[in-house]
Amino acid sequence: MTQPAQPIRLHGFQLSGHSHRVELFLNLLGLPYQFIAVNLAGGEHLQPEFLSLNPFGQVPVIEDGAVVLADSNAILVYLAQVYDPARRWLPTDPLRQAQIQRWLSVAAGDLAFGPALARIIRLFKRPADIVQAQAVAHRLLQRLEAQLGANEWLVGDTASIADLALYSYTARAPEGDVTLDDFPAIRTWLNRVEALPRFHPMPRATS
């Protein structure tokens, strides 16, 4: 198995689904890493030291030797290309790659502005329209349900980084008062992800 020369440093926030999807993949790949908690509430992500890693002031960021890389989906692509030589998680076939990219775009779009935003509003009191975010979430869940009613995984016959990118915020959607009760295929898929060897759970918010 390809391994880094030293543990990968993951700058993240425990309750962030963006951070979790990276931490999940590090675990599934069996890679050594060190989690460095960034104090978002205290504004640590806006301090010069963190901004030198990511001028966008967002977690997650990884440091892999001399490589510094921000953005959860970019990190998934990097880890798959460097540390999964069999390319199980991001196949080399151009169509498969494009299909996976499509879901990474969904993760950066409707997932972020739907279930993830509703959860942030609920948990962290962000001043934004929760009704609008929940509507985006509901529409996305209907589309995911249709996809997963007919397929075990989002792309192809095995798990890919598309599944990892969508997993965390879908699993924690109820924390934004977005129920999964009406979506049995999604719940079965969540269980399928959670049954992967070396699965690493995302902490539940206590409030």
Ligand X SMILES: N[C@@H](CCC(=O)N[C@@H](CS)C(=O)NCC(=O)O)C(=O)O
Residues contributing to the site for ligand X (CB under 6 A): 13, 16, 18, 40, 45, 57-60, 71-73, 108
In this complex, which beta carbon is closest to ligand X, that of residue 56 or of residue 199?
56
User: Are the C-beta atoms of 123 and 180 separated by less than 8 Å?
Assistant: no
**3-state SS track over 37-93:** ECCCCCCHHHCHHHHCCCCCCCCCEEEECCEEEECHHHHHHHHHHHHCCCCCCCCCC
User: Are the C-beta atoms of 12 and 36 separated by less than 8 Å?
Assistant: yes
- Per DSSP, what are the bridge partners of residue 11? 36, 61
* Minimum CB–partner distance for residue 5 and ligand X (Å): 24
In this complex, which beta carbon is closest to ligand X, that of residue 60 or of residue 114?
60
In this complex, which beta carbon is closest to ligand X, that of residue 47 or of residue 158?
47
* Minimum CB–partner distance for residue 115 and ligand X (Å): 12
Enumerate residues 6+ apart whose C-beta is below 8 A from 157: none
* Minimum CB–partner distance for residue 28 and ligand X (Å): 18
In this complex, which beta carbon is closest to ligand X, that of residue 72 or of residue 147?
72
User: Are the C-beta atoms of 154 and 102 separated by less than 8 Å?
Assistant: no
* Minimum CB–partner distance for residue 45 and ligand X (Å): 5
